[in-house]
Structure 1
């Protein structure tokens, strides 16, 4: 069993009316408390997108507020992220998603293990994504120094 998993899959991207929906997957092998998800970031054409929301049971909450949710991000479930996207046609656009999580039960002298996973794909007008590429970084760092 691998320690980390891809944050994007080939079916993760879809175009909706006035928004792009991205299904983001937990990059770790075990479920994690939402308080451990320290960053979820979306870029299109190399520009960070502001105003993204997480969608739970058709309720939208600001993406930055997921850390305040009770409970856990369960392995095998995706987080629906919607970002405003006005044009009806997106053309070929690169999409990048980054998820950073602090692993609460793996510590070193410098702090908990931090896992950052990045997924990239190209979205076309039909709402289809190119094959997904992934990069992962694991490091232990002190949260006190931040």
Structure 2
């Protein structure tokens, strides 16, 4: 879903295509700091092709976390002024090759029961 955060979800300037890897600089699509346990990286496509998130990691606060582990990280905070990096293994990636990445992130703010905040953003990398 497009919302006020969609245009800022992926920072093209900090993102890159590396050999065998896509690295996206991502901003929290919310107005307050949240624990990683309420963040779900729900989908990624590159040039319109869905990409598996198996083996993908989110780097934040100097640490890397597998996406499956995020739900358990109640004490790890994503501050609104800090970006994170999503590292996605991509066998076909060649360093410097341009692509268009589209990312889907879902948030479940702990203080708003039953809300799922969905943000879809894209950028040329």
TM-score (norm 1): 0.66
Count residues in correspondence.
Answer: 116
- Counterpart among 69, 85, 94 of residue 80 in structure 1: 85
Q: In the alignment, which residue of structure 1 is the partner of 2:29? A: 27
Where does 1:1-146 land on structure 2 (aligned, <5 Å)? 5=5, 6-45=8-47, 46-50=49-53, 51-56=55-60, 57=62, 59-69=63-73, 70-86=75-91, 87-88=93-94, 91-107=97-113, 111=114, 113-123=115-125
Query: Shift of the alpha carbon at 1:17?
Result: 3.9
Q: Tell me if structure 2 keeps the 8 A contact 1:4–1:29.
A: no
Decide whether aligned partners of structure 1 residues 64 and 99 sit closer, same or farther in structure 2, where only a CA change above 3 A counts.
same
Q: Secondary structure at the residue paired with 1:29? A: coil
Paired with 1:90 and 1:16, the residues of 2 have a C-alpha distance of: 7
Question: Once superposed, which parts of structure 1, at least 4 consecutive aligned residues long, lie more than 4 Å away?
Answer: 89-92
Q: RMSD over aligned Cα, in angstroms?
A: 2.4
Q: Secondary structure at the residue paired with 1:64? A: helix
